[in-house]
Copies of this chain bind each other. A is one copy, B any other.
């Protein structure tokens, strides 16, 4: 029923002959340069959130280049000096994880507070960023939150702001650590000299990019897309009250597809000199999987907050409604992914 094969995209149209390791080296140099630029910008802005948006943008640019370098090391591994790349990859993963947490907690809190307002029948704040404090403030119109929703919002605000603040400190510490300086040194070298293997400059990249695409397609094929394509299948909430401490193993294959889709996207970038043609399907599918991941983690945060000792029943009730709401967002995201994947496969 679900046609799960990628359209036979040819990102190389216009190119004559194979794309070789030289293109990989060019891509890695560009990403490394971007990393160094973002790092400089981050240091100049002081690394704190006090000075306008600069540090946030710089941190995002850092994460962006780290993800791309890391992905390229993975996808095109046989073309790179094994000792060098095997040493660098775990360090990039550490860096990417450390730098990403603060933003993740911030986005999670915003998602949950917006959901609480929606569930209270309140008018949405016109500027999302204002919702950060809306848990306690009276909203316009019929928007007064119930006691339970207000308390749930305040509890989530407290817990996720604490987590965000800690992540911020951890990221700052990481950026000042000798471990980070070693990574930065490696990337500085990469900006001028990419450690390719001897044969790499003339090796065709395309089989490696195709392999990344196949891993994505295989993983998508293994997803329960037929179920996901039936609206209101009620699968996502099926373990919503499970005693299992890790109640949503069903999310893992979707998270995995999200990562594989990203590897495929970056491989396309490498093959096209950083300018792949717009692929609406990849874009839409990626957005659906981001939404899936965000809702999955937000639902877990609501469930976790509900285990806080000595909360009021009304607070716990609101968190239960919120958890279920986010699990339905998870289900909606799967449906959206199935729809976009299906539609494009049929239309080509």
Task: List B contacts of A146 (CB < 8 A).
Answer: 241-243
**Bound form: Cα–Cα A311–B237 in Å:** 23
**Bound form: Cα–Cα A231–B325 in Å:** 14
Cβ 8 A contact of A324, one of B244, B247, B320: B320
Decide yes or no whether A340 CB sits under 8 A from chain B: no
Distance in angstroms from A237 CB to nearest chain B CB is 6
Residue of B nearest to A326 (CB): B324
**Bound form: Cα–Cα A318–B121 in Å:** 21
Decide yes or no whether A331 CB sits under 8 A from chain B: yes
Task: List B contacts of A234 (CB < 8 A).
Answer: 118, 325, 328, 332
Decide yes or no whether A120 CB sits under 8 A from chain B: yes
For window 225-247 of chain A, which residues contact chain B by CB distance below 8 Å?
Answer: 231-232, 234, 237-244, 247
CB <8 Å contact, A237 and B332: no
Interface residues in A, total, Cβ within 8 A: 43
Distance in angstroms from A236 CB to nearest chain B CB is 10
**Bound form: Cα–Cα A295–B331 in Å:** 19
Decide yes or no whether A207 CB sits under 8 A from chain B: no
Cβ 8 A contact of A241, one of B231, B238, B306, B321: B321
Task: List B contacts of A324 (CB < 8 A).
Answer: 320-321, 323-325, 328
- Could you say how many copies of this chain the assembly holds? 2
**Bound form: Cα–Cα A231–B240 in Å:** 21
Decide yes or no whether A315 CB sits under 8 A from chain B: yes
For window 135-159 of chain A, which residues contact chain B by CB distance below 8 Å?
Answer: 142, 144-146, 148-149
Distance in angstroms from A148 CB to nearest chain B CB is 7
Distance in angstroms from A306 CB to nearest chain B CB is 5
CB <8 Å contact, A148 and B241: yes
**Bound form: Cα–Cα A318–B242 in Å:** 10
**Bound form: Cα–Cα A175–B316 in Å:** 43
Q: Mark A241-255, 1 if CB is under 8 A from B, else 0.
A: 111100100000000
Cβ 8 A contact of A240, one of B119, B243, B244, B315: B119
Residue of B nearest to A146 (CB): B243
Task: List B contacts of A328 (CB < 8 A).
Answer: 232, 234, 237, 324, 328
**Bound form: Cα–Cα A324–B317 in Å:** 10
Task: List B contacts of A322 (CB < 8 A).
Answer: 320
Distance in angstroms from A299 CB to nearest chain B CB is 10
**Bound form: Cα–Cα A121–B245 in Å:** 13
CB <8 Å contact, B231 and A121: no
Decide yes or no whether A92 CB sits under 8 A from chain B: no
Q: A119-B237, A120-B239, A324-B328 are in contact. List 8 more A-B contacts (CB 8 A).
A: A118-B234, A144-B243, A149-B241, A232-B332, A234-B325, A234-B332, A320-B324, A324-B325
27 contacts between A and B (CB under 8 A): A118-B238, A119-B238, A119-B240, A119-B241, A119-B242, A120-B239, A120-B241, A145-B243, A148-B241, A231-B232, A231-B332, A232-B335, A234-B332, A311-B313, A312-B313, A313-B313, A314-B316, A316-B320, A317-B319, A317-B320, A317-B323, A319-B320, A320-B321, A320-B324, A321-B323, A321-B324, A324-B328
**Which A residues form the contact surface with B (CB < 8 A)?**
116, 118-121, 142, 144-146, 148-149, 231-232, 234, 237-244, 247, 306, 311-325, 328, 331-332, 335
